Amino acid sequence: MPFISQLIGKAVVDSNGNLLGYVDEILAVLKPETQHPMLSSMIVARKRDLKCYPFSVVSVLFASEVSLALPVEKLAQHKAEEDEIRLIDDVLDKQIIDTNGIRVVRVNDLEITRVNESWYVSNVDIGVSGILRRIGLTKIADFASGLFKRKNSTNKISWDYVELLMHDQYMRLKVPGEKIRDLHPADLAELLSDLSQHESRKLLDTMDIEQVADALEEVEPEFQASLIQEMTDEKVADVLEEMSPDEAADLLAELPAERTEDLLELMEDQEAKEVRLLLSYPEDSAGGIMTTDYAALKPGLTAAQAIEALRDLDPDAESLFYIYVTDEKNRLMGVFSLSDLILAQPGTLVSSFMHEKVVTANVLTKQETLAQLIAKYNLLAIPVVDSENRLLGMVTADDALDKIIPTAWKKKLPRFYYYTRA
């Protein structure tokens, strides 16, 4: 199939073979009745002189030179319209968001197809073949396309799914809102990280509050702060309420103190109280990274009652690494896992199958020490207590290990339900 790259710089002659110049730009128009841009005109450059000819006078397009059907004295000039797409300057080398492959890819070339008497852009080439054609290695590009023919379709995206953002760095694939909602938060975070801040904010604008919160939790606090910079305080407050308290505190710690206070005032009282508590602890302490989302029950409950109580609490999945047991003054008495609970007889008291020897961390314990404790005892989470052994929160393994291994490696760690036995 022919490609736009094969036209760049090609000689253009009239019907008498007179050289008019060389292809500088190809313009296309996207009509409402078609999903593919139709090539409308070409700009021909000769020294510093630019002329624009309609595509209707092109007689031969893909040969050693582009031939026009009329002599130069009869060629009418085409006046470029504002809505015409400059395929070389505004499309080639731009980037698109491929939500099917969860990646940001570059437009290396544009495949064109002739339908009746007109030429249309059919596909966007994102593969290595497009790059080879661009640097003049067309034969090698064709050989590579043939060699990897089975995989070649993955290197092309139909224009049907591309929406051009004019005068911008990025193009975006047209994807229904439900498709975005189906993406895992980590995949959304990867897209956000690959895009410019401007485009990342545009992507966030397409999501609901819960999606934004989930995606922000997967990126670093500094990047979080940059992404919400232009959001209204009301929207940011709603997002913070959807985030886990520790993640919300980390984000607020990156903002100016005045805006942080304004956002806390807009949040619901309970959520704001939890975040204020976390912000009060030193940044490098257990309190600085703990979450107050944890599951705690009383020792007098039976296994059946404990299950019902957990249903009422409706904790986050991450909070169910372990279930902590506390007394009336919220002092930590023991811990058990979900497997302990499920395997226990319905009438068995929690106090009889909980593990009383619990590895804990003080709220002021340094984060490096936390990571060492979690690694030493192979824990998924560690409870955080004050000087009187009152349960304040917990630190998950991934949050603690952030301090000693890179985030990219930390996310690859498997999660197993494990606890220390008495």
Q: What is the pLDDT of residue 96?
A: 74
For residue 390, give Cα distances in angstroms to 246, 322, 325, 327. 19, 17, 11, 9
Is the pLDDT assigned to residue 149 strictly greater than 60? no
Nearest CA among 219, 395, 371 for reference residue 292: 395
Per-residue pLDDT at 164: 62
Highest mean pLDDT among 94-103, 139-148, 369-378: 369-378
Q: Look up residue 379 and give its two tokens.
A: 């824990």
Residue 115's DSSP bridge partners are 118
Residue 139, pLDDT score: 57
pLDDT at residue 158 in the model? 85
Sequence-distant (6+) residues with CB within 8 A of 336 are: 322, 323, 325, 350, 353, 354, 355, 419
Please give the Cα distance from 138 to 131 (Å, whole number): 9
Mean pLDDT of the 230-252 span: 93
Buried b (16+ CB within 10 A) or exposed e, 250-270: bbbbebeeeebeebbebbeee
| Residue 79 to residue 98: CA distance in whole angstroms | 34
pLDDT of 413 reads 44
Return the top range by mean pLDDT from 46-50, 131-135, 383-387, 397-401.
Answer: 383-387
Confidence of residue 318 (pLDDT cuts 50, 70, 90): low
Q: Can you give the pLDDT at residue 377?
A: 92
For strands 19-29 and 38-46, give the pairing: antiparallel
Q: Report the distance separating Cα 288 and Cα 249, nearest Å.
A: 8
Calpha distance 400→290 (Å, rounded): 9
User: Which segments of 184-295 does DSSP mark as H helices, in order?
Assistant: 185-194, 197-205, 209-216, 221-227, 233-242, 245-253, 257-266, 269-279, 286-289
Q: CA nearest 53: which of 9, 83, 13, 109? A: 13
- 270 φψ region: left (φ > 0), alpha (ψ -120 to 50), beta (else): alpha
Nearest partner of 303 among 241, 350, 240, judged by Cα:
350
Of the candidates 369, 396, 242, the one whose C-alpha atom is nearest the C-alpha of residue 251 is 242
Helix (H/G/I), strand (E/B), else coil: 197: helix
Tell which wins on pLDDT, 379 or 81: 379
The residue-averaged pLDDT of 145-170 equals 61
DSSP string, 139-184: HHHHHHHHHTHHHHGGGEEEGGGEEE-TTSSEEEE---HHHHHHS-
pLDDT-derived band at 98, boundaries 50, 70, 90: low
Cβ of 335: how many Cβ atoms within 10 Å? 23
**CA dihedral of 338, 340, 343, 348, whole degrees rounded to 10:** -120
Look at 153 and 228; give whichever has higher pLDDT: 228
Per-residue model confidence (pLDDT) at position 400: 83
Distance CA 32, CA 12 (A): 31
Mean pLDDT of the chain: 83
37-46, 210-219, 395-404 — which is least confidently predicted? Answer: 395-404
Task: Give the per-residue pLDDT at 304.
Answer: 96
Asked if the model's pLDDT at residue 233 lies above 90, the reply is: yes
Tell which residue, 326, 352, 328, 323, has the closest CA to residue 339: 323
Instruction: Please name the amino acid found at residue 366.
Output: K
The stretch 257-263 carries a mean pLDDT of 95
Q: How many helices (H) and strands (E) does the chain have?
A: 19, 20
pLDDT band, very low/low/confident/very high, at 188 (cuts 50, 70, 90):
confident
Looking at residue 386, what is its pLDDT?
95
Please compute the mean of the pLDDT values over residues 310-338 and round it to a whole number: 87
Helix axes 185-194 and 209-216, enclosed angle (nearest 10): 70
Please say if the pLDDT value at position 364 is more than 60: yes
Residue 415 pLDDT > 60: no
Note the pTM of the prediction, 2 decimals: 0.60
